[in-house]
């Protein structure tokens, strides 16, 4: 039956009783969470009402949910970081049966002797962030009080393995960000972001760092895909294995940066300075700059053994004294490049454009195929 939800919970129970011909006393959501506040109901929710019996999932064979999971409904007390929470075993087990909490309390003796003097089960986590998780397990809705850091709740949800809550929190965090704020991120703001504890990949896709001073920071493995890093100071930064695919690095300074294994596919680094950079990874992981725009870059003295510069644009670039041994330069535009003093031994220059390029004082003889333009 379709029922309009308005007024109080008692009003809803009264309307549902008339519609279904029963004396409705309880309302559950589709996952068996007891609804105790009408504000928790969303427009597209499918609800179930009963006369007091336990919730029965209509997709099962009719057995109560507790019987299906083998859980218990007895009450227990948790001591989370010094704060006490009273709940039922079924609350901790039923909604997320594969979570850490479900495995901890599925069997009565599973948590062993980890209890305090009052018999409460000890859990060494933040009570502030645990409370929204417990309430979510109770009624299936994400409710976080003002002043609670959603990132903290998200990390607790990941720790306890509450998978269905993680997506809700990620959406809530995204929606909590200021709308249409495209102002550049400062060094202070970014350092604070880097200090936030997390076990997941740090993602900075599409963020605006234009003109920021990010020099000497540890930026390893960070995802900067499509980020605006134009005119940034990244000198001496550690960008090992960072993802800079399609990022804007135009006019930036990356002198002496560590770029081992970096991904810069189709990035725009026109006019950037990359003097003395290290692209060479001893483990064999090769930096990938395929299709990058490197017009007018200054890469003098950089270590680029085995680097992939296939079909990249290096017109008017300064590559003096670079180590390009074994580099892939097939189809690369090297017009008017200064390659003097470069080590190009075993480099692949098939189909590259070397019009006006300077090769004087090369460390090794240059052997180019007939397809070089």
What pLDDT, in 10s, does the model give residues 162-195? 998 998 899 888 887 765 556 788 899 899 888 8
The per-residue pLDDT of the chain, averaged, comes to 85
Q: Looking at residue 165, what DSSP letter applies?
A: H
pLDDT band (50, 70, 90) for residue 65: very low
pLDDT for 5: 73
pLDDT for 18: 86
Burial (CB < 10 A; 0-12, 13-18, 19+), residue 58, is: exposed
175: number of CA atoms within 13 Å, CB side?
6
User: Which residues, in sequence order, are CB contacts of 49 under 8 Å at separation 6+?
Assistant: 13, 16, 17, 20, 22, 24, 26, 27, 28
Residues 341-373 have pLDDT tens digits of 999 999 999 999 999 999 875 444 444 443 444
Burial (CB < 10 A; 0-12, 13-18, 19+), residue 53, is: exposed
pLDDT for 45: 74
CATH 2.160.20.80 domain locations along the chain: 186-372
pLDDT band (50, 70, 90) for residue 298: very high
pLDDT for 67: 46
Residues 226-243 have pLDDT tens digits of 999 999 999 999 999 999
CATH 3.40.50.11540 fits 75-176, yes or no: no
CATH 3.30.710.10 domain locations along the chain: 75-176
pLDDT for 181: 56
The whole-angstrom distance between residue 214's C-alpha and the CA centroid of its chain comes to 20
Mean predicted confidence (pLDDT) in 250-260: 96
From edge to edge, which strands make up the β-sheet containing 121-123? 83-88, 75-80, 121-123
What percent of the chain clears pLDDT 70, i.e. is strictly above it?
87
pLDDT for 68: 42
- Give the CATH fold of the 186-372 domain: Pectate Lyase C-like (2.160.20)
pLDDT for 180: 58
């Amino acid at each position: 039956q379709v029922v309009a939800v308005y007024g109080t919970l008692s009003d809803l129970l009264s309307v549902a009783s008339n519609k279904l011909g029963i004396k409705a006393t309880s309302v559950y959501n589709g996952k068996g969470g007891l609804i105790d506040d009408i504000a928790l109901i969303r427009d597209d929710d499918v609800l179930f009402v009963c006369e007091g019996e336990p919730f029965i999932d209509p997709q099962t064979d009719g057995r109560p949910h507790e019987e299906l999971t083998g859980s218990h409904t007895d009450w227990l007390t948790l001591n989370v970081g010094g704060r006490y929470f009273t709940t039922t075993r079924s609350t901790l087990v039923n909604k997320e049966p594969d979570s850490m909490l479900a495995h901890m309390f599925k069997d009565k003796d599973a948590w062993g002797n980890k209890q305090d003097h009052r018999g409460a089960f000890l859990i060494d986590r933040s009570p502030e962030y645990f409370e929204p998780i417990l309430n979510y397990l109770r009624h299936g809705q994400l409710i976080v009080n003002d002043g609670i850091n959603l990132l903290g709740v998200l990390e607790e949800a990941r720790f306890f393995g509450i998978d269905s809550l993680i997506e809700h929190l990620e959406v809530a965090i995204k929606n909590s960000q200021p709308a249409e704020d495209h102002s550049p991120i400062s060094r202070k703001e970014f350092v604070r972001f880097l200090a936030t504890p997390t076990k997941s990949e740090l993602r900075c896709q599409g963020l605006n760092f234009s003109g920021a001073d990010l020099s000497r920071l540890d930026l390893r493995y960070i995802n900067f895909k499509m980020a605006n890093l134009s005119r940034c100071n990244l000198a001496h930064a550690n960008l090992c294995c960072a993802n800079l695919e399609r990022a804007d690095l135009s006019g930036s300074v990356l002198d002496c940066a560590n770029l081992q294994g970096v991904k810069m596919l189709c990035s725009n680094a026109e006019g950037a300075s990359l003097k003395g950079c290290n692209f060479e990874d001893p483990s064999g992981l090769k930096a990938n700059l395929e299709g990058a725009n490197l017009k007018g870059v200054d890469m003098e003295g950089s270590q680029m053994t085995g680097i992939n510069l296939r079909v990249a644009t290096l017109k008017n670039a300064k590559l003096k004294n670079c180590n390009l041994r074994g580099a892939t330069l097939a189809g690369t535009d090297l017009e008017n490049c200064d390659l003097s003093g470069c080590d190009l031994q075993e480099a692949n220059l098939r189909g590259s454009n070397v019009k006006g390029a300077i090769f004087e004082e090369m460390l090794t003889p240059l052997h180019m195929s007939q397809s070089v333009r």
